[in-house]
């Protein structure tokens, strides 16, 4: 009898380890999917921000990279069976997401309570980082040509920049939309009336545009090859380019920059609602926003986020820009933006 038992046990020991483990219940680590900008921002969050949340909550966070328009399209396409849990979008596109019913309601948290009212979009989205769109310029080209730094949105129409202005497409970029709307205001227009801007553009700004680009990814290359002299951009992106040795500087327009916050929301009807709310709340904390500021120059929305000698100047400068910044009426803009996009493609960027 003992020999039989020994044979049975020795027989089990010959089984592959995977077969033995298969009979043992294993709780798989849940996975959350976070939609956000790719490239530098994706690496920053993957390396510096998300690991603390993953460790504390025994969860894996996978970043789905893309522009705000890309992320919105993906979420809209799977709204009946969401594949993502939380998304970052430029504030204007976030208004669209909310109007489409793609965002859930944010649950109260201490970090959410810390965010100023101007950083909140209804009760469904909230700024993660603060920004503005202004003008940036190629310092090397400006120095070589003896040009003074730009001071106005109207400088985009200055003849000295003929075929030296790089402009992001209004149809795909918030930067491009901001630049066009501010030019339109100088022509006497408003968000409800863009006729002055469309009418004036072809004979003023239009001749200066070297290329209409889909996103700002090409700007670094075009500055270094001496093609791009002037372009709409944020102070945060200017700082990132300068750290890479690209000769650029930010120029605050006298008419005001345009508020451009990156906002987050939890995706409606996702399959991990509690964890998604936890992640959204975490991303508003100083614990999350401090490394995003220190390592990635992301200006925090939470005023309790500590600064260092390196970052205090950036935060102070952004607060100064925001003090005079223009806020777009996104509910108005998003109602008629598809018409603008079609007209832009047909008459400007053809």
How high is the mean pLDDT of the chain? 91
In a domain, 87, yes or no: yes
pLDDT tens column, 48-63: 999 999 999 999 999 9
Q: Which of 177, 209, 210, 180 is nearest to 196 (CA)?
A: 180
Do the beta carbons of residue 220 and residue 246 sit within 8 Å? yes
The residue-averaged pLDDT of 24-33 equals 76
Q: What is the pLDDT of residue 6?
A: 38
Same domain, 45 and 161: no
- Write out the residue range of the structural domain in which residue 185 sits: 132-259+328-347
Considering only residues 33 and 22, tell me which one the structure prediction assigns the higher pLDDT: 33
Kindly tell me the burial class for residue 202, based on how many C-beta atoms sit within 10 Å of its own C-beta (0-12, 13-18, 19 or more): exposed
Is 116 found in the same domain as 43?
A: yes
Identify the band that residue 1 occupies on the pLDDT scale cut at 50, 70 and 90. Answer: very low
Q: Identify whether residues 115 and 139 lie together within a single domain.
A: no
- State the pLDDT at residue 93: 93
The pLDDT-based confidence of 17 (bands split at 50, 70, 90) is very low
Element (H, E) at 319: helix 312-323
Q: Is the dihedral of CA 297, 43, 289, 73 positive or negative?
A: positive
The model's pLDDT over 75-86, given as tens digits with 9 standing for 90+, comes to 999 999 999 999
Which residues, 6 or more positions from 283, have their beta carbon under 8 angstroms from its beta carbon? 49, 86, 128, 264, 289
- pTM (predicted TM-score): 0.84
Checking if the pLDDT of 8 tops 80, the result is no
- The percentage of residues in the chain with a pLDDT greater than 70, rounded to a whole number, is 92
Residue 92 confidence (pLDDT) above 80: yes
Q: How many domains does the chain have?
A: 2
Cβ(117)–Cβ(91) below 8 Å: no
- Residue 215: pLDDT band by 50, 70, 90 thresholds? confident
Lowest mean pLDDT among 65-69, 165-169, 229-233, 275-279: 65-69
Confidence at residue 172, expressed as pLDDT on a 0 to 100 scale: 80
Q: Do 40 and 178 belong together in one domain?
A: no
| 139 and 242 inside one domain | yes
How many CB atoms within 10 Å of residue 162?
Answer: 12
pLDDT confidence band for 27 (50 / 70 / 90): low
Inside any domain, residue 19: no
Shared domain check, 339 and 237 = yes
Residues 177 and 253 in one domain: yes
Residues 265 and 251 in one domain: no
Task: Give the CA count within 13 Å in the CB-facing half-sphere of 255.
Answer: 19
User: Are residues 210 and 88 part of one domain?
Assistant: no
pLDDT band at 24 (very low <50, low <70, confident <90, very high): very low
pLDDT at 3: 45
Does 110 reside within a domain?
yes
- Residue 278 in any domain: the answer is yes
CB 265 within 8 A of CB 281: no
Residue 1 lies in a domain: no
Q: In this structure, what CATH number is given to the domain that contains residue 158?
A: 3.40.190.10
254 and 265, same domain (yes or no): no
Residue 26 pLDDT: 52
Q: Are residues 103 and 124 in the same domain?
A: yes
- pLDDT reported for residue 21: 43
């Amino acid at each position: 009898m003992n020999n039989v038992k020994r044979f049975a046990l020795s027989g089990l020991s010959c089984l592959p380890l995977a077969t033995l483990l298969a009979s043992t219940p294993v709780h798989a680590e849940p996975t959350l999917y976070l939609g956000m900008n790719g490239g530098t921002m994706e690496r920053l969050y993957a390396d510096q921000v998300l690991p603390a949340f993953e460790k504390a909550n025994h969860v894996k966070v996978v970043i789905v990279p893309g522009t705000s328009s890309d992320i919105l399209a993906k979420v809209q396409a799977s709204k009946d069976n969401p594949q993502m849990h939380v998304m970052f979008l430029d504030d204007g596109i976030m208004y669209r997401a909310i109007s489409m019913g793609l965002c859930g309601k944010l649950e109260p948290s201490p970090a959410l309570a810390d965010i100023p009212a101007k950083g909140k979009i209804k009760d469904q989205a909230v700024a993660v980082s603060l920004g503005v769109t202004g003008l940036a310029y190629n310092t090397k080209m400006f120095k070589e040509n003896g040009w003074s730094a730009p001071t106005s949105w109207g400088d985009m129409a200055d003849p000295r920049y003929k075929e030296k202005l790089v402009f992001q497409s209004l149809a795909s970029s918030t930067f491009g939309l901001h630049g066009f709307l501010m030019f339109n205001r100088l022509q006497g227009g408003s968000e409800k009336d863009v006729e002055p801007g469309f009418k004036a553009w072809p004979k003023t700004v239009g001749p200066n545009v070297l290329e209409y680009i889909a996103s700002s990814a090409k700007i670094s290359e075009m500055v270094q090859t001496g093609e791009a002299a002037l372009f709409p951009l944020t102070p945060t992106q200017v700082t990132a380019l300068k750290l890479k040795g690209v000769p650029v500087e930010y120029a605050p327009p006298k008419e005001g920059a345009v508020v451009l916050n990156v906002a987050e929301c939890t995706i409606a009807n996702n399959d991990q609602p509690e964890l998604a709310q936890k992640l959204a709340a975490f991303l508003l904390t100083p614990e999350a926003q401090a490394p995003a500021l220190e390592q990635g120059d992301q200006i925090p929305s939470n005023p309790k986020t500590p600064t260092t000698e390196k970052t205090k100047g950036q935060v102070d400068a952004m607060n100064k820009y925001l003090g005079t910044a223009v806020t777009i009426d996104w509910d108005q803009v998003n109602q008629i933006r598809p018409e603008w996009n079609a007209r832009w493609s047909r008459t400007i960027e053809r």
